[in-house]
Structure 1
Amino acid sequence: MSEPERQRHVRELMKARRDVKAAKASGDDDALRTARDAVNKAKIKLGERGPTWWGDDTDHNRKLVQNSPYADWWEAR
């Protein structure tokens, strides 16, 4: 991704986050859903969400630690 493209996606993300805040403040559930969807789309474009890019099936970010290969480490700390 080029730097100008990345910057555009970051601007989209920041606008969407502001929209989430405004929707929460106004109590508008439809606007909140739309804004959160925009946050998700921007994060996917930035590579922060979606399939892992390294492809070795080590993405445990969406699991509770006790349900991951790190459970023993977590208990021992």
Structure 2
Amino acid sequence: MSGSKAPPPVTPDGRYIVVRGRLWRRADPSLSEERRAELVAELMHARRAVRDAADDAQKRAARARVHAAKVALGERGPVWWDDGAPDLNRHMARNTPYAAWHASLAGSSEHA
């Protein structure tokens, strides 16, 4: 598809993507493609429910669904890797062990 944006860079270990210099945890790669697609569909549905909520109670319920989908995907909650490495989700890449790798992404729009 022409005009589409390039995907965000992925850390060498595959744990995070980098958006505007910030690390965001990726989905658990052990999920089947079918299960991942189901969870992404639920996440998108829940995000639309947040947008369309008529009151605070509906918005809270929809946000809880967003959170549950992200936990099920592995993007929040317990980490999906088992080597004891810390979770650096939402950290600025420049302040993490990924700093040198991130700095090497010459010309990247993610470079801050």
Common topology (TM > 0.5)? yes
Unaligned runs of 5+ in 1: none
Size of the aligned set, in residue pairs, is 65
Distance 1:60 1:6 in 2: 22
Letter in 1 for 2:68: K
**For the pair shown, which has the larger CA radius of gyration, 1 or 2?**
1
Report the CA distance between 1:2 and its aligned residue: 1.1
The partner residue of 1:59 within 87, 90, 102 is 87
Unaligned runs of 5+ in 2: 1-30, 100-111
Give the number of the structure with larger relative contact order, counting CA–CA contacts within 8 Å between residues 6 or more apart.
Answer: 2
Runs of 4 or more above 6 Å deviation: none
The partner residue of 2:48 within 7, 10, 18 is 18
More helix by share: 1
Q: TM-score, normalised by structure 2?
A: 0.50
Q: How does 1:1-77 map to 2 (within 5 A)?
A: 1-23=31-53, 26=54, 28-55=55-82, 56-61=84-89, 70=95
